[in-house]
Structure 1
Amino acid sequence: MPHLSHGKNILLVVLFILFQSCGKKIGTPSVETVAVIDTIIAKDTTTLIEIKPAVEEVQPIVEEPKVHTEDLNFNYIKAKSKVLWKTNSNSDTYTVDIRMKKDSLIWMNISVSMITGATGIFSKDRVQFFHKINNEYFNLTYDSLSTKMGFKINYEILQSLIVGNQPFKKNNSRVIRENENYILKQDEGRIQIDNYVGPNRKLKKLLVNDGPTENKLTLDYEDFATINQFLFPFSSQITLDVKDKDNKVVKTLISIKYSKVELLDSPLEFPFKVPAKYLNK
């Protein structure tokens, strides 16, 4: 039976990791166009003759239209998925049950061979995680979790990536047309983000690059199906290229396939119990 290691636990509970950084944006100064007129004095006359340079016809700049992704709208979500975790050294498969209350709570239960191995709950400001097999309990802020992970994460980003919504909302994204897709290019300080938006206005691919560290994340959404008139990606694949403490690139592949997804209006339960002996530590 695959073993849920300490480091992998937090990664698996989080499932989706994203770079985020704050930095000042450097504006591009405006450039004024100046028309130049050449003045020539003719040899045999005192008359001034003005010769204007030929003016090339300037093609109007056609701006790409503003592109907005079609976000999944919901009150509650209940889902079941299979997660394949693969590195260069090993691969494990888990069953992950997810429950979510929009903008409030994310609950996950991780099982191996029908045996619950860990349960985690994410609120707006904290992450609680109980590893039943190893008898370990974690109660972390997002700042402390980000330190452990090596990436800055928060609740809003996690929720967006789980349901396939665009994680960063900006009206000033640079838009590029690529065949049938649009690419929304964004800068978050030292982080560069490419959002690939398909004809269905859903996010189909996310590329994230941290310039200084060269850490990279690629997230592909596939197998879109309609649920309650909304499109949901039933398959996704995360590829992480992250440097370890020895500056070596470690590649991790996480494949997620949902077998069942429900968008609900009725409230869900989020069972999370931790033995008192762990709470008193």
Structure 2
Amino acid sequence: MNKLIIGGVALMLGIASCKKPAINKSPELVSTTTDSLKNGTSNVVVAPTTDSSKVSVDNAPKTEDAEIEKVSVDEVDFKYLKGKAKVGIKSTDVNQTVNMDIRAKKDSVIWLNLSVPGLPVSIATAVFTKDSVKIHNKYEGSYNVYRYDHFSEKFKFNLTFDILQALIVGNRPFKKNKSRVIRENEYFLLKQHEGKVQIDNYIGQDKKLKKLLVTQDVTNTKLEMDFADFTALNNTLFPLSNLITVEYKSEKDQKIYQTVINIKHTKVELLDEPLQFPFKVPEKLLKKN
């Protein structure tokens, strides 16, 4: 049985306990062009070329390899987010593209609805809050509620709501930790620790997070996000592309496995007006849970 996962990072690592529907497998995503984005939403505009002078560094020494006390990072601020994306998933047993509708309330709720090319209806809907993940697998007719430690145990990695939100908007998931900042080539590297997890934030000259590398010290599980195609949106730069690589060791055969997820946002809106997060589950499935 092939598996896809629905759930935050876990959602895009495969669909949980799901037989794969007969769909058109296509590992390549269609390139998102400037024109198609403009046609998709009126408030997505191509960002101007960034100027390295916009980097805000407090108490920064003049030497290239010196430690920097503080770096100002431009975070995406929003009340509500609404968007569409194409997501390419590739692993040892999955190689396909899915369409994803996204809605979110900052630091509170993330709603995802999945469909696949060739099927006109939704195959799954998931709702993420700070403490739980609800998944309605419409294709198989199942409904499950998980805590995040379910996915953490499976992948030997501490998956959280904050990591999922960072995955979507390109913000740092760990902001309260003290940072040691150094200069590495064209980046400012903010190094952090969260328990036994090491976090490397690569900040570009435009003050945006360009790359996030999270490493679990004990298991050596790695999550890497590479953000690109930054576009001006509501007075900030928003990454329309995110290439995610997850690497972990299987307890069954002790081999290293890798999953690659390629997210291409085709439409994004940052809104002040509240959004609805529709999530209807048949009564018979609720009784089973």
- Which range, TM-score by smaller chain? 0.7 to 0.9
Aligned-pair identity (%): 48
Give the superposition deviation at 1:207.
1.2
Q: CA deviation at 1:211?
A: 2.2
Residue 167 to residue 128, structure 1, CA distance change in 2 (3 Å):
same
Counterpart CA distance in 2 for 1:74 and 1:10 is 22
**Deviation per residue, 1:172-197 (Å, 9 max, x gap):** 31111123310011122322211100
- 1:89 CA drift (Å): 4.6
Aligned to 1:188: 194
AA partner of residue 68 (structure 2): E
2:239 counterpart letter in structure 1:
P
For residues 226-255 of structure 1, what are the alpha-carbon distances to aligned partners after superposition, in whole Å with 9 as ceiling and x for unaligned?
111111100010111111121101111100
Pairwise mapping of residues 170-209 of structure 1 onto structure 2 (< 5 A)? 170=176, 172-209=178-215
Listed as ranges, the gaps of 5+ residues in structure 1 are 17-59
Residues of 2 paired with 1:160 and 1:62: CA distance? 28
Are residues 1:77 and 2:81 paired?
A: yes
Cα separation, 1, equivalents of 2:286 and 2:192: 42
- Out of 102, 112, 132, the position equivalent to 1:98 is 102
Aligned-residue CA RMSD (Å)? 2.3
Q: Which has the larger radius of gyration?
A: 1
Letter in 1 for 2:158: K
Is the contact between residue 9 and residue 159 of structure 2 (CA under 8 Å) also seen in structure 1? no
Amino acid in the other structure paired with 2:167: L
Q: CA deviation at 1:139?
A: 1.0
Matched position secondary structure for 1:133? coil
Distance 2:155 2:218 in 1: 17
Counterpart for residue 136 of structure 2: 130
Deviation sequence 1:234-281 (CA, Å, 0-9, x none)? 001011111112110111110000000000111111110000011112
Amino acid at match of 1:139: V
The number of residue pairs the alignment matches comes to 235
Distance 1:14 1:202 in 2: 25
- Provide TM-score, normalisation by structure 1: 0.77
Gap change, CA 1:276 and 1:142, over 3 Å in 2: same
2:225 maps to 1:219 = yes
Tell me, yes or no, if the aligned pair for 1:109 and 1:119 is still in contact at 8 Å. Answer: yes
SS at match of 1:147: helix
- Normalising by structure 2, report the TM-score: 0.75
Query: What is the rounded CA distance, in whole Å, between the counterparts of 1:137 and 1:241 in structure 2?
Result: 28
1:280 maps to a residue whose letter is K
Is 1:9 aligned to 2:15, yes or no?
Answer: no
Distance in 2 of aligned mates of 1:120 and 1:147:
20
Aligned counterpart in structure 2 of residue 276 of structure 1, from 268, 275, 283: 283
Query: CA shift at 1:149, angstroms?
Result: 4.2
Match of 1:150 among 150, 153, 156: 156
Take 1:126 and 1:200, find their aligned partners in 2: how far apart are those partners? Answer: 35
One-letter identity of the residue aligned with 2:219? T
Q: Deviations over 1:30-75 (max 9, x none)?
A: xxxxxxxxxxxxxxxxxxxxxxxxxxxxxx9964140132111101
Q: Secondary structure at the match of 1:115?
A: coil
Match in the other structure for 1:164: 170
- For 2:8 and 2:272, how far apart are their aligned partners in 1? 29
